[in-house]
Structures are given as C-alpha cells and as structure tokens.
Amino acid sequence: MPGITREEVAHLARLSRLELSEKELDHFATQLDDIVGAVARVGEVAAEDVPPTSHPLPLTNVMRADEVRPSLTPEQALAAAPAVEEQRFRVPQILGED
C-alpha cells in the first residue's frame, strides 16, 4: 500500500473542503499515514468469497405512502441561515457551473 504523502493530504483536503494550513498538512500527513498503515490490515483476511456487509440489518423495501406531511414554515427553514434575502438562503458567489 502506498503511504499518505503531503500532496495526498492536500488533495483529500480539497475534496473534503478543508482549507488546511501548511502546518496541518505536515501534521495530518504523518498521522494519516500511521492510521492508514494500521487499518490496511483489513486486507489480510477478507477473501474473494466473503460478501460485503454494508449494513447490519437484513431489511428491504421500507417505504412510505405518497402522502403530504406539513413542511416547516419558511421562517423555521431560514431561521438558522447565516444570510437571507428574498426568503431565500443567501450564499456567496458560486464558482461552479449552472
């Protein structure tokens, strides 16, 4: 298994939207490298024929009827918003695509 480099941490931070400081990059690189080294042990046991378990419960088809329930009021929905304008969540300029 490849170790976790400083560059890798920078990439993970971008994907995770964390504006890490230079110091943190070094710090986390060391720690994450240690942790990944330790958890990589999972590769030792699980063989091809072992099915994965993504969830502890064997349930299927849990659904609800298509019936309308009361929504929050716009005041409730917006109460915690950092900024509001025209009854909408006001957010800074979005750089992505429209």
Partner 1 sequence: MGLEVHVELGTATKMFCGCTTALGGDANAQTCPVCLGLPGALPVVNAKGVEGAVRIGLALNCEIAEWCRFARKNYFYPDMPKNFQTSQYDEPIAFNGHLDVEVDGEVFRVEIERAHMEEDTGKSTHVGGATGRIQGADHSLIDYNRAGIPLIEIVTKPIVGAGARAPQVAKAYVAELRELIKALGVSEARMEMGQMRCDVNLSLRPHGREKFGTRSETKNVNSLRSVERAARSEIQRQATVLDDGGSIVQETRHFHEDTGSTTSGRIKEEAEDYRYFPEPDLVPVAPAREWVEELRAELPELPRVRRKRLQQEWGVGDHEMQSALNAGAIDLITATIDAGAPADQARKWWMGELARHANESGTELDGLAITPVQVARVSALVAEGSLNDKLARQVIEGVLAGEGGPDEVVEKRGLKVVSDEGALTAAVDDAIASNAAVAEKIRGGNMGAVGALIGGVMKATRGQADAKRVREIILEKLGVG
Partner 2 sequence: MTAAALAGAIASGEASAEEAARAHLDRIGAVDEKVHAFLHVDTEGALRAARAVDAKRAAGEKLGPLAGVPLALKDLITTEGVPTTCGSKILEGWIPPYDATVTKRLKDAGVVVLGKTNMDEFAMGSSTETSAYGPTGNPWDLTRIPGGSGGGSSASIASYQAPLAIGTDTGGSIRQPASVTGTVGVKPTYGAVSRYGLVAFSSSLDQAGPCARNVLDTALLHSVIAGHDPMDSTSIDAPVPDVVAAARQGREQGIAGMRVGVVKEFAGEGYQAGVEQRFREAVEVLRGLGAEVVEISCPHFTYALPAYYLIAPSECSSNLARFDAMRYGLRVGDDGSHSAEEVTALTREAGFGDEVKRRIMLGTYALSSGYYDAYYGQAQKVRTLITRDFDAAFAAVDVLVSPTTPTTAFPIGERVDDPMAMYLADLCTIPSNLAGNAAMSVPCGLAPEDGLPVGLQIIAPPMADDRLYRVGAAVEAALTDSWGHPILEEAPSL
- Binding residues for partner 2, rule: CB under 8 A, are 1, 4, 8-9, 12-13, 15-21, 24, 28, 31-32, 34-36, 38-47, 50-57, 59, 62, 64, 72, 76-77, 79-83, 89, 91-96
Number of other CB atoms surrounding residue 44 within 10 Å: 6
Q: 88: closest CA among 97, 75, 98, 69?
A: 75
The one of partner 1, partner 2, none whose footprint includes residue 19, by CB under 5 to 8 A per kind, is partner 2
10 Å Cβ neighbour count for 9?
22
Query: Closer CB to partner 1, residue 1 or residue 94?
Result: 94
DSSP 81: -
Chain residues 14-73 in contact with partner 1, contact rule CB under 8 A: 14-15, 17, 54-55, 57, 59-73
